[in-house]
């Protein structure tokens, strides 16, 4: 039997249609669906109860996708354990293929966005770049090479989960990375193409807290000896570098992630025609304003001043007056 785990939080707008789609795809296949909901304010757990073959676990006082998946696995009755997101971005059509492969090899099967036939709908280039960086970073903590350790769509055999569950310390969103890191060396891993669909409703859960949890997860796995020695050393050095630059990256995150904000910053800087662009440093970027430092590179001591510049005003305000 296939046990499908759907970890959810505030997915009431998506879950009903997703459950109908899953039931249609799995018609004729013995299965159960376990929705593990973190007591969503929008009552996702209540909407999910109307689904066919659906068991709902409403968690009160417990939060986190990874721990929700492990709790769902513990309640599952099937010999094939599968996980997919509850927002509809994972295509259920590949579930029968994934389940059949797990039954065949008793290993791990994951839906990959990065093999031939896989893709991502609607991402801007900066999002692709960040995903690639996070993917390669995560692989430092694994002795198994896969193309997409960040995917949230995977299936594994119950017997394989029992072998590794005592090692798992579920935190954050990337439970698959934890699982891959603890797999036996002889475990068979198969990847199938996944088209990662656009979210139809609701908001992404990705935020700075989740990103920091991911960094800590990778560091913890490296310190526990997961991965190969050169990878471990490189990974620890990379984490230390990221920690050193984290405040700077955070202050400028909108410049990297939001094309509209980036255009506003560029336009506002062009208004300061009295200065060379090489004399300007952008310190912080916000939705309505940015903080810049001007340093005149002249003979003797460089003259430096900090200003707050609003995108809708040509007036510069000294930094102490920023609100």
Give the per-residue pLDDT at 236: 67
Task: Look up tokens 């939705």; give the residue.
Answer: 287
290 and 178 fall within a common domain: no
Q: Identify whether residues 141 and 227 lie together within a single domain.
A: yes
Q: In the prediction, which pLDDT does 24 show?
A: 93
Q: Do 166 and 276 have their domain in common? A: no
Res 234: pLDDT: 64
Decide the pairing of beta strands 2-8 and 80-83.
parallel
Question: 227 and 281: one domain?
Answer: no
Q: Which DSSP string do the residues of 128-189 spell out, in sequence order?
A: HHHHHHHHHHHHTT-SS--S-TT-S-EEEEHHHHHHHGGG----SS-HHHHHHHHS-TT--E
Give the Cα separation of 181 and 193 in Å (integer): 22
Same domain flag for 88 and 203: yes
Judge whether 195 lies within some domain: yes
pLDDT at 297: 63
Helix (H, G, I), strand (E, B), or coil: what is residue 201? coil
Q: Please give the Cα distance from 177 to 180 (Å, whole number).
A: 5
Residues 226 and 264 in one domain: no
End-to-end CA distance of the chain: 59
Alpha carbon distance 108, 155 (integer Å): 6
Domain membership of residue 253 (yes or no) is no
Compute the distance between CA of residue 221 and CA of residue 181 in angstroms, rounded to an integer. Answer: 8
Please give the backbone phi and psi of residue 314, each rounded to the nearest 5 degrees, phi first: -90, 0
Reported as a single tens digit per residue, the pLDDT across 67-122 is 899 999 999 999 999 999 988 889 999 999 999 999 999 999 999 988 999 888 77
Give yes or no: residues 17 and 80 share one domain.
yes
Encoded tokens for 188: 């068979």
Q: Which of 205, 236, 267 is the last residue of a domain?
A: 236
- Which pLDDT value is given to residue 258? 84
Are 92 and 188 in the same domain?
yes
Q: What is the pLDDT of residue 64?
A: 83
End of a domain among 201, 236, 271? Answer: 236
How many independent structural domains does the chain possess? 2
Q: Does residue 136 form part of some domain?
A: yes
**What range does the domain containing 275 cover?**
258-321
- 172 and 202 together in one domain: yes
Asked whether the CA dihedral 285, 286, 288, 293 is positive or negative, the reply is negative
| Domain co-membership, 176 together with 141 | yes
- pTM score of the predicted model: 0.67
Q: pLDDT digit string (tens) for 235-264?
A: 667 667 777 777 888 888 888 788 888 899
| Any domain includes 304 | yes
pLDDT at 148: 86
Is residue 180 domain-shared with residue 57, that is, in the same domain? yes
Q: Is residue 73 part of a domain?
A: yes
- Is 250 within the bounds of a domain? no
227: domain CATH number is: 3.90.550.10
The domain boundary residue, chosen from 179, 204, 236: 236
* Cβ atoms of 83 and 154 closer than 8 Å: yes
Give the position of tokens 């927002």.
Answer: 87
Q: Does residue 251 fall inside a structural domain?
A: no
> What would the two tokens of residue 1 be?
């039997």
Are both 39 and 157 inside the same structural domain?
A: yes
Return all residues near 31 (Cβ < 8 A) that are at least 6 apart: 1, 2, 3, 4, 53, 78
Interhelix angle 175-182/208-223, nearest 10 degrees: 10
Contact 289, 311 (CB under 8 A): yes
**pLDDT on residue 323:** 44
Between 95-105 and 12-25, two packed helices, what is the crossing angle to 10 degrees? 60
Residue 249 domain flag: no
The answer to whether 263 touches 304, Cβ cutoff 8 Å, is no
What are the residue ranges in the chain where pLDDT is below 50?
322-323
Helix pair angle (65-75, 175-182), 10° resolution: 60
């Amino acid at each position: 039997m296939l046990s499908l785990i759907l970890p959810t939080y505030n997915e009431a707008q998506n879950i009903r249609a997703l459950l109908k789609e899953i039931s249609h795809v799995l018609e004729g296949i013995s299965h159960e669906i376990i929705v593990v909901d973190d007591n969503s304010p929008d009552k996702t757990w209540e909407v999910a109860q109307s689904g066919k073959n659906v068991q709902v676990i409403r968690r009160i006082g417990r939060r986190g996708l990874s721990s929700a998946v492990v709790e769902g696995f513990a309640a599952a009755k099937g010999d094939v354990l599968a996980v997919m997101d509850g927002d509809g971005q994972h295509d259920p059509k590949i579930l029968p293929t994934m389940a059949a492969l797990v039954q065949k090899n008793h290993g791990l099967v994951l839906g990959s966005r990065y093999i031939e036939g896989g893709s991502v709908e609607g991402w801007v280039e900066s999002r692709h770049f960040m995903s690639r960086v996070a993917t390669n970073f995560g692989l430092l903590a694994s002795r198994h090479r896969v193309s997409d350790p960040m995917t949230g769509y995977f299936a594994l055999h119950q017997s394989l989960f029992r072998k590794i569950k005592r090692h798992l310390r579920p935190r954050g969103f990337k439970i698959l990375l934890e699982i891959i890191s603890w797999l036996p060396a002889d475990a068979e891993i198969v990847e199938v193409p996944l088209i990662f669909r656009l979210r139809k409703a609701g908001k992404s859960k990705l935020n700075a807290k989740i990103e920091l949890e991911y960094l800590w997860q990778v560091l913890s796995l490296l310190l526990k000896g997961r991965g190969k020695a050169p990878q471990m050393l490189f990974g620890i050095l990379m984490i230390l570098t990221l920690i050193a630059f984290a405040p700077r990256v955070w202050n400028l995150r909108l410049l990297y992630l939001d094309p509209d904000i980036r255009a506003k910053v560029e336009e506002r800087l062009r208004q300061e025609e009295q200065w060379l662009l090489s004399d300007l440093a952008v310190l912080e970027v916000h939705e309505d304003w940015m903080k810049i430092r001007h340093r005149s590179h002249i003979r003797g001591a460089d003259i430096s001043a900090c200003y707050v510049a609003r995108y809708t005003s040509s007036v510069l305000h000294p930094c102490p007056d920023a609100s």
